[in-house]
Structure formats: structure tokens, C-alpha cells
A and B are shown apart, each in its own frame.
Chain A
Amino acid sequence: MKMMSKIALAVTGLVFCASAVSAEMIQIKGSDTIVNLVQKLAEVYMQQNPEAKISVTGGGSGTGIAGMINKKCDIGNASRAISAKEIELASAAGLNPSRVVIAIDGLSVIVNDGNAVTKLTVEQIGAIFRGKITNWSEVGGSNMPITLYGRQSNSGTYGFFREMVLKGEYSPKMRSMNGNAQIVESVKADPTGIGYVGVGYVRDAAGLTVLEVAFKDGMPYASPLDEKAVESGDYPIARPLYQYVGGTVSGAVKEFMQFETSPEGQKIVQTEGFFPITDEYRNLNARVGL
């Protein structure tokens, strides 16, 4: 009985996938960090263009890029750049992926608001998440152990944070949460906790301290909530948020992306807590026809 229902589910899944690709529906999948943002963009876009059909789901950047390569979706959302390995797999599948930047994120490191620590350097944060620093007293806090809250390996934030901050392996003691929201909730409840999330998730969050971060000791500290610091690059762990497509940007997908990068789309980006794209990224987008 159970097996039969599973098979039935698999079959309906297949049928659904097939019809989704053939219809004019745009399937978007990937990064948990921007799933809410892209959903909002799609909602407003569909209101203005009733004939457009867009479905947006999460699953993580790895899932989004794998979905783009495996042709399970039209757009793969990612909060990290595509890896060399993934480019290889994409070209093996006959694809030449293009990328578009739709917003900027100040990746936020958060602690419980009961924690005395309010700022850290990138090096300190890296050592904490590598498992080298295990007590808050080592970074100016009170004497209590540090509990790490991170993301699962399919997360682009997990990958980006490792490349830019850890430059090494995550401590195996880190708890892997399902998404940004779960990290926010866990750190709120845990006075010893530390976690990292997209800035869109900490705008109005009570019970948290969003840490100020400096490149290294002796350099100025900046907050990810400060738009100027993020745009100028003074905030050390700012990052572009991407959308990947399998080939050239064209058709219905292009029209939607034009909306995302338009002044109106960028206003939605800001109300969702992220930052608008800078000229640098506008130029990059222009190269793929936007």
C-alpha cells in the first residue's frame, strides 16, 4: 500500500515535471536566502502580466544549480557563484550557463541579544566556525561554550561563508539548519548561539544582535544593515545574489529578469531587506543582454 502510493507519487511527479517544461510556466528553484524575495518579485510581475506563470521554490543554491543543469527548472537561484565543477557538469550536459545579479546581500552574523559580544573580525568568525575558538570568553564574551548554527551543504550561504570567512572546513559540531529562518529562531532561543543568515532575515528580528564585522584587527567595523557600507564594500562579507539560466537569457525568462532589475523590481528588493545592484553588477548583467 505504502509502496504503491510512493510509486503513484513518483509518476504524478514525472507527469508534472514534463508538463511544466512544455508549458509557458517559468520554474525557479534554489537559494533559500532569496526564495522569499523572488517569490515577491514573481507575485508582483504576475499581477502586472496575467498571462505569465512563475513558480518559485527553495531547496538551496546547490539544488537550484543542479536543477538548472539537470533541466528541472528554468532559473536556478544561487547565493554563491557557480563552481568550476558545476560548470564542467553543465557543459557535459550541453549547457553554457549565463548569470544575472538581482540583488546584493550583506551576509549577517547573528548572536543572541543576551550576548555581550557585538563585533568580531572575519578571522575570529572563521576560527569560531572552524571549531578553533569554542568559548565566548576567547572573543570578549562571558565564559560559556559557543554553539554553532549553520546551513546544510546544499546551501549557497554555506558555500559562500566557507569560501570567504572560514577558508577551511566547518566544525563537524555545527548544527545544520534547514533555512535562514530556522537559524534566526535557534539563535534567538540560545544565549550561546551564533549563526549566519541573509540580511533580509534580520531586518526586524527582535532578540538578536547583528554583529559588526571588520576585515581584521585594527580595521573599522561595519554593520550589514548599513546600506552604504555594504555598497562600498566596507562591510567585508557582502555578496551578489544570482540567477542562473542554462543558455542565453531570452524569451519569457528575459522579460521577467528585466522586471527584476528594473527600478520597480529593485524597490521590491529593498522592501524585502536586501540592497539594490550596483553599477558594477549592472555592467555584468548587460553582458548577458539585460
Chain B
Amino acid sequence: MNKRRLKEKLIEWLFFVNGMIAVLVLVGIFILLVRNAFPGFKEVSFWEFLTTSRWNPDAYDKETYGFLAMLASTGMTTIGSLLIAVPLGVGTAAYLSDVASHRVREIAKPLIEILAGIPSVVIGFLGIVLVGPVLAKLTGTYNGLNAINGSILLAVMALPTIVSLSEDALNSVPRSYEEASLALGANKWQTVIKVKIPAAASGIIAACMLGMGRAIGETMTVLMATGNAPDFPQNLLSSVKTMTATIAIELGETAYFSTHFYMLFTVGLVLFIITFFINLISDIIFHKHMKMLK
């Protein structure tokens, strides 16, 4: 009996340590980012970083560290990807949860989830050899490495998250809602659109925000597919260089502990804060959703 208690305590302790390690790693990453981000502002003004758009750390004359262009680039590819992935993802989720037969659902859902496992470099490769040339032809330009290419690829990558979690949210809507709607004479389409999706709205929003977090943090795919011009993007056909791509491209060439090195950490810190809040908000919305349905 005593031995069994000891074993239980030991396992409990082990799980506690495991949980704490995850938290410590998170806090550690944050501290590392902050410590390496701050020294950069000895030489670069904080105001310049926030309000100018020319990022030119390896300049011929004078280095500049403006952050706006890459923020706009990240924003553009992310919003573009959501414009594609949200309608498609929620539609797919509604189909899977309310229209598809049991057999179709059992096959389709795992297949969509497998999509999440495709390495990002493979998707980036498709962006270069497939999406790029097709886009160039459709838009009458000569090169398809631009913001919209990145958006399409990011949409593909965010889809599994959005479909899978939205479908869970739709399934968690109590059956009584649907029955009440059908009993009042609404047809299936009206029930899905006017009852189930609104009832699952917070869960669906949480799903979309997680998809957005994925899109913002994605690096390899956008690096390969967007052309990486550091200019402030003019339209969806502009070539853009996102925050993640800037870090990935430039960190390898900087000497450690130079201003450029510190400024790249600052970009990383901003990225960390953005994704942290997106995940936090989606988590809060999701818990509200679960509570409401109870």
C-alpha cells in the first residue's frame, strides 16, 4: 500500500516537473529575446524602428532599421491567407459536421489533418514551381513570387487547424439547438447558417485565430515564395519580405552581438509578443465558448 502511494507521488512529481519545464522554457525564451533585443537601441532610436519602413542593415552609406515594411508584409500575407482559409475552412467544417455522411467524414477529416504534417519547405517549393507560374499567367505579370503567392500557401497551411477545430466547435453545439430549429420549420441550410454557426461562433473564431498564429509565424514557405523585396508593399502583387523571412535570411550573416544581431532579436521579440497574444486571446475565447455551451 505504502509502495503504491510512493509510486503515485513520484509520478505526480514527474508530471509537475514536466509541466514546469515547458513553462520555464517559455519564460527563458522571453528573457533571452528581451536581453538580446535591448542593446540594439543604444545605436538605433526606438522611434525610428517603429515609424520608418526602410530596413537596410547592410547599407552602402548608412544603416537604417525601419520596421513598418516588414510588419505590413507580414500583415498582408497573413490577412490574405485568412481571407482564403476562413471561408473555405468554415465551409469545409460545416460540410463535415452537418452534410457529409459518416463514412465521408471518417475519411476526409484525417486526410485534412495530414495536410498539417507536410513540411513547410515542400509547400514553399510548390509555391515556386506551381503557384508562382500559374499566378504570373493569371495576373499577366512575369513573376509569381509575391504576397498573394505567400497568402495562398499560408492558407493551405492554416486550413487543417481551422477545419479541425471549427468542426469540433460545431459538433459541440447541443443537439437540442438543431432539433429546435428543425422543429420550427427551418430547413437544414438555414439551421446550419442561422443556428449552428452562430452558436459555435466563439469556437470558430478561436480556431481562425490559431490558424492566424500559424500563418504569422511561418518562415520557410514565405521566404521561398514571396520574392523578399524589402520595399513597403504596394498591393497584393508586390514582392514582400516578412518579419520571419528577415530573421531567417539575415541571422546567419551577422556577427554575434552587433547592432544588426540585436535588432533581429527585437524583430523576434515583436513576433513572439504578437503570436503570444493571438494564442492567448483565442484560448480565452475558446474557454468562453465551452462555458457558454454548458
Chain B contacts for A173, CB-based, 8 A:
229, 231, 239
Which of B35-43, B164-172, B196-204, B246-254 has 4 or more CB atoms under 8 Å from chain A?
B246-254
B282 contacts A by Cβ under 8 Å? no
A192 contacts B by Cβ under 8 Å? yes
Across the interface, do A168 and B231 meet the contact criterion of CB distance under 8 Å?
no
- Closest chain A residue to B57, Cβ basis: A153
- Closest chain B residue to A163, Cβ basis: B60
Across the interface, do A152 and B255 meet the contact criterion of CB distance under 8 Å?
no
Q: In B226-260, which residues have CB < 8 Å from any A CB?
A: 227-232, 239, 241, 249-250, 252-256, 258
- Closest chain A residue to B144, Cβ basis: A189
Across the interface, do A167 and B252 meet the contact criterion of CB distance under 8 Å?
no
Chain B contacts for A163, CB-based, 8 A:
60
Chain A contacts for B255, CB-based, 8 A:
66, 69-70, 85-86, 89
B143 contacts A by Cβ under 8 Å? yes
B58 contacts A by Cβ under 8 Å? yes
B25 contacts A by Cβ under 8 Å? yes
Across the interface, do A169 and B61 meet the contact criterion of CB distance under 8 Å?
yes
Closest 5 CB pairs between A and B? A62-B253, A154-B253, A172-B231, A190-B142, A175-B227
Residues of chain A whose beta carbon lies under 8 Å from any beta carbon of chain B = 3, 7, 59-60, 62-63, 66, 69-70, 85-86, 89, 147, 152-154, 159, 162-163, 166-169, 171-178, 186, 189-193
Given the interface contacts A60-B253, A190-B143, does A175 sit within 8 Å of B58 by beta carbon? no
What is the CA–CA distance of A89 and B88 in the complex, to the nearest angstrom? 52
Residue with the highest number of chain B CB atoms closer than 10 Å, among A174, A176, A178, A192: A176
What is the CA–CA distance of A119 and B232 in the complex, to the nearest angstrom? 32
Across the interface, do B231 and A154 meet the contact criterion of CB distance under 8 Å?
no
Across the interface, do B227 and A176 meet the contact criterion of CB distance under 8 Å?
yes
Chain A contacts for B229, CB-based, 8 A:
172-176
A-B contact count (CB 8 A): 87
B76 contacts A by Cβ under 8 Å? no
Across the interface, do A60 and B143 meet the contact criterion of CB distance under 8 Å?
no
B109 contacts A by Cβ under 8 Å? no
Q: Which of B224, B227, B253, B258 contacts A63 (CB 8 A)?
A: B253
Q: How many of B's residues come within 8 Å of A, CB to CB?
A: 32
Residue with the highest number of chain A CB atoms closer than 10 Å, among B61, B69, B231: B231
Across the interface, do B142 and A192 meet the contact criterion of CB distance under 8 Å?
yes
Across the interface, do B133 and A3 meet the contact criterion of CB distance under 8 Å?
no
B145 contacts A by Cβ under 8 Å? yes
What is the CA–CA distance of A59 and B59 in the complex, to the nearest angstrom? 19
Chain A contacts for B56, CB-based, 8 A:
169, 172
Interface string of B204-229 (1 = CB under 8 A from A): 00000000000000000000100111
Given the interface contacts A147-B143, A169-B59, A172-B231, does A154 sit within 8 Å of B258 by beta carbon? no
Across the interface, do A175 and B143 meet the contact criterion of CB distance under 8 Å?
yes
Q: Which of B25, B227, B231 contacts A3 (CB 8 A)?
A: B25
Q: Which of B133, B224, B250 contacts A189 (CB 8 A)?
A: B133
What is the CA–CA distance of A178 and B229 in the complex, to the nearest angstrom? 12
- Closest chain A residue to B230, Cβ basis: A172
What is the CA–CA distance of A101 and B232 in the complex, to the nearest angstrom? 39
What is the CA–CA distance of A172 and B231 in the complex, to the nearest angstrom? 5
What is the CA–CA distance of A62 and B227 in the complex, to the nearest angstrom? 20
- Closest chain A residue to B241, Cβ basis: A176
What is the CA–CA distance of A174 and B227 in the complex, to the nearest angstrom? 9
Q: Which of B54, B60, B230 contacts A168 (CB 8 A)?
A: B60
What is the CA–CA distance of A208 and B239 in the complex, to the nearest angstrom? 23
Residue with the highest number of chain A CB atoms closer than 10 Å, among B57, B145, B253: B253
Return A128 CB to nearest CB of chain B, in Å: 15
B22 contacts A by Cβ under 8 Å? yes
Across the interface, do B258 and A89 meet the contact criterion of CB distance under 8 Å?
yes
Return B56 CB to nearest CB of chain A, in Å: 7
Chain A contacts for B230, CB-based, 8 A:
172, 176
